Structure 1
Amino acid sequence: MLPIDAPVLLYLWDKRTFHLSQFHQPLQLAQAAAMLLVGLDGPLHITSQGDALACRSALLPAGLELSVDGRGSRVAICYLDVFGEDFALLAPRMAASLTGVLHGLDSEAACIRRFDELHRSSAAPEQVYAWLDELINPQQGVPDGFVFDPRIVRTIELIKADVSCNQSIAYLAKQVGLSVPRLTQLFRQKIGIPIRRYRQWHRLFVTSVGVARGMSLTEAAVAAGFTDSAHFSHTFRSIIGMTPSAVLAHPQGVRLFAG
């Protein structure tokens, strides 16, 4: 039986974002960040590039377009770090791949049990973050061959420093010593999405953090660079695959935290 009295968990950290909720409608995702999904009560039915699969855990790279149907199951969603370190740690631990979707986490059964426990207890943010760290990087190491590109790190720092400003790619390229075509190419290669898409994703994050800290949705959206709450809602649905109200207006309430 599903714990129907348990609230939605929506915890926002700078490195990762965690969302655990029951899903009755399919999510139409245009991936702006890599994600780990775990179906707590039944399989996830995923359609990507015309291929379909059913699985209990899936690792999705940034930039992928697909549909995910939980069919009433609770789904734990972890949006992973933007630079790809989490993805690089998890990818070798998935059993199989189909059209870009990696699935079958090696510790899947234990992972499902732990997420179920965290949901039933409405676990505090620090408990969830500690579990995510343990799940993703149990050895606290760096993935083999993984390096941060300092130019991309700096580009993201510049975007984050003034999220409400549409800094031109020419300006960003000049600041990191690259040509516009080279920055555009390198950013997509390292992050998996175009600069504009990343900026939209980060603005969604900043808006959600503002709401978690007591701002109205309109105030938070405008402060993050959206023209109004309708612009925010449209972007939210195009990237996250559902409306903000589907996340924030759950019948059992939402436990919302921004760290």
Structure 2
Amino acid sequence: MNSLVEVVGVALPETCGDPVIWVRPDSIGYFGPDLGVALHSTSVAVLTVGVDGPIVLEAPGCAVTTARSVYAPARASHRIIAPESRILLLFLDPAGPRAADTAAAMREFAGPFGLGHRREQALSIACLAGADPALVVRAAAGAVVAADPRITALALAIRSDPGREYRAPASAAELGLSTSHFLRLFAQSTGTTFRRYQQWARLRHVVGGLAAGHDLTRSAVEAGFASPSHFSDTFRETFGTSATAVLDAGVRFDIGA
């Protein structure tokens, strides 16, 4: 019981409400109704929790599965349906200071998908109480991933300047590694590919721009997308819905500190 109290903490007005997207250095989170997504594959791993009730996982090659929480690794095509529940979507930056092996907190697996997060009740309570996002992340985090410090530094550089085009051969050479070794090391340290991590950094920058009050076009250009259509295609591929649909749903943004 003490762990639940610790997770919930003090409800903060800026994180209460429905729906809301928060942006922090180590995470992006969404709390609100099902947005009706199509099949998609995220750039980084995502944890989905049915806050009010069960959710349904659909994925190619897997039986339709009902659970209260689902972990989907990066690049795993899937969609979550929540007909009677608001959901928590939690994207943890795989190379950030709060990077965690969320998969280790799942009770069982169906193919690549984890089912039943061990702290799903605490996560639901934290969302309903309007807990600070940092406490929600703390409830979700499992064992911390020991990333190679060279990869951690590179990931920070990518997040700091997402508009720059990073090439694997050049980045590998700067670290004194072969390209193949570099790409394996990056994937081992972050749980996603070098290309997908750059995609994640750009999408995160766009969401941060929207949270700061910038328009969608400006945010996408500053993030390094070649055109509005490039951004739209990437967003839909990653999240299973359009950025316009998210904005039309009346989502409120919380950029925090």
Question: What is the TM-score with the length of structure 2 in the denominator?
Answer: 0.83
Structure-2 change in CA distance of 1:256 and 1:250 (3 Å) = farther
Equivalent residue number for residue 219 of structure 1: 218
Instruction: Find the aligned partners of 1:21 and 1:247 in 2 and give their Cα distance.
Output: 11
Q: How many residue pairs were aligned?
A: 240
In structure 1, the gaps of 5 or more residues are: none
The alignment partner of 1:76 has SS state of strand
Equivalent residue number for residue 14 of structure 1: 25
- Can you list the C-alpha shifts for 1:27-69, whole angstroms capped at 9, x where unaligned? 4221211112111223211123421211011222223221211
Instruction: Find the aligned partners of 1:174 and 1:113 in 2 and give their Cα distance.
Output: 47
Q: Is the 8 A contact 1:211 1:220 kept in 2?
A: yes
Instruction: Find the aligned partners of 1:103 and 1:86 in 2 and give their Cα distance.
Output: 20
Question: What is the TM-score with the length of structure 1 in the denominator?
Answer: 0.83
Equivalent residue number for residue 119 of structure 2: 107
- Can you list the C-alpha shifts for 1:145-177, whole angstroms capped at 9, x where unaligned? x42212221331332343212122121111111
Instruction: Find the aligned partners of 1:64 and 1:78 in 2 and give their Cα distance.
Output: 16
Instruction: Find the aligned partners of 1:214 and 1:170 in 2 and give their Cα distance.
Output: 36
The alignment partner of 2:103 has SS state of helix
The alignment partner of 1:30 has SS state of coil
Listed as ranges, the matches of 1:85-234 within 5 Å are 86-88=99-101, 90-118=102-130, 127-133=132-138, 135-137=139-141, 143=143, 146-234=145-233
Structure-2 change in CA distance of 1:190 and 1:148 (3 Å) = closer
Over the matched positions of the two proteins, sequence identity in percent amounts to 27
Instruction: Find the aligned partners of 2:79 and 2:180 in 1 and give their Cα distance.
Output: 31
Residue 58 of structure 2 is aligned to residue 47 of structure 1: yes
Structure-2 change in CA distance of 1:173 and 1:83 (3 Å) = same
Kindly state the Cα deviation for residue 239 of structure 1 after the two structures are TM-superposed: 0.7
In structure 2, the gaps of 5 or more residues are: 1-15
Deviating runs (4+, > 4 A) in structure 1?
Answer: none
Residue 63 of structure 2 is aligned to residue 33 of structure 1: no
The alignment partner of 1:28 has SS state of coil
Instruction: Find the aligned partners of 1:26 and 1:239 in 2 and give their Cα distance.
Output: 10
Measured on the aligned residues, the alpha-carbon RMSD in Å equals 2.4
Instruction: Find the aligned partners of 1:193 and 1:111 in 2 and give their Cα distance.
Output: 24
Structure-2 change in CA distance of 1:69 and 1:217 (3 Å) = same
Structure-2 change in CA distance of 1:110 and 1:196 (3 Å) = closer
Structure-2 change in CA distance of 1:27 and 1:87 (3 Å) = farther
Structure-2 change in CA distance of 1:200 and 1:255 (3 Å) = closer
Q: Is the 8 A contact 1:7 1:255 kept in 2?
A: no
Instruction: Find the aligned partners of 1:29 and 1:258 in 2 and give their Cα distance.
Output: 28
- Can you list the C-alpha shifts for 1:177-229, whole angstroms capped at 9, x where unaligned? 11111112222233232211111111011111112112211111111101232
Amino acid across the alignment from 2:58: T
Amino acid across the alignment from 2:164: C
Amino acid across the alignment from 2:94: V
Kindly state the Cα deviation for residue 114 of structure 1 after the two structures are TM-superposed: 2.9
Q: Is the 8 A contact 1:213 1:258 kept in 2?
A: no
Amino acid across the alignment from 2:30: H
Instruction: Find the aligned partners of 2:103 and 2:168 in 1 and give their Cα distance.
Output: 31
Equivalent residue number for residue 88 of structure 2: 76
Structure-2 change in CA distance of 1:229 and 1:19 (3 Å) = same
Amino acid across the alignment from 1:219: R
Instruction: Find the aligned partners of 1:54 and 1:195 in 2 and give their Cα distance.
Output: 32
Structure-2 change in CA distance of 1:80 and 1:177 (3 Å) = same
